[in-house]
Amino acid sequence: MKYEGWPEPGELVVGKVDEIEDFGVFVDLEEYEDKRGLVHISEVASGWIKNVRDHVREGQTVVAKVLDVDRDAQQIDLSIKDVNEHQRSDAIQDWKNEQKADKWMSIAFGEEMADDQFRAVANELIAEFGSLYEGFEQAAIHGPDALDPTDLDEDDVEAVVSTARDNVSVPYVTVTGYVHLESPAGDGVDDIKESLQAAEGDGEIPDEIDLDVTYVGSPEYRIKVQAPNYKTAEDELEASAARATDAIAAAGGSGEFHRERQLDEDQ
């Protein structure tokens, strides 16, 4: 999807070198409809430049910083030298992600999707998530709930979520912790079982989280959480451990959460 508007000063844009002159480089902006910018020779690279072609070539994809926008004159001034390698890498990856998302839109709604419908759906996702790609990624992780804040109708939501779950590779992280559970009661085994069921969430764990509780050696139990990011994983791990230790304490036993497995002296 190409934006119909204009970039803002300070924004990083992806473009393709269209024309090289002695005074600078003309760049077609890949993310904006019918927009072209100029990189003055002094903004192509640091230091003195003898020949612009020593630094760029026609057809090359570049990342540039927007220095100034004059809408009346239809002019966009750019700088290539003001973009460091880290910024360039991130901008190129974001651009590639948006190209993927464009293809997912075609999969979700068909190649014959009308332009106004495409833009209506795309604008809703961009307004809520900042980009098409992020919208699809959140739909893949959280399902229809992720799209509740948008004004998309039920059919559009179903199309986005279904396509996202078939095509988006969601990054996941895994964290592990342990709970030490003991009960002196005669029916202590049952108390521990109920505590472990509490740790598992009794079916209330969000779809995007995979939580597994396993026995590793009395009185130790492992809690492993897989989630889209570390904060979510850590929060769910601590919540799971808290449910287990609270449940065993309520039954008259004791529980303790720790990150490393603790071995008894006789093991």
- Encode 9-22: b = buried (16+ Cβ within 10 Å), e = exposed: eeebbbbebeebee
Longest Cα separation, the chain: 89
Domain 86-167 and domain 173-258, same fold? Reply is no
- Separation of alpha carbons 163 and 18, rounded Å: 35
Residue ranges of the domains in the chain? Answer: 12-83, 86-167, 173-258
Enter the pTM of the model: 0.65
d(CA 183, CA 229): 34
For 81, residues 6+ apart whose C-beta sits below 8 A from its C-beta are 43, 44, 45, 46
Domain 173-258 classified CATH 3.40.50.2300?
no
Alpha-carbon span 28 to 15, nearest angstrom: 5
* Domain 86-167, CATH among 1.10.150, 1.10.3470, 1.10.10, 1.10.357: 1.10.150
Strand order in the sheet with 220-227: 210-217, 220-227, 173-182, 254-258
Tens of pLDDT, residues 96-143:
999 999 999 999 999 888 888 888 999 999 999 999 999 999 998 888
Write the class of the CATH domain 12-83: mainly beta
The tens digit of pLDDT for each residue in 207-220 reads: 789 999 999 887 89
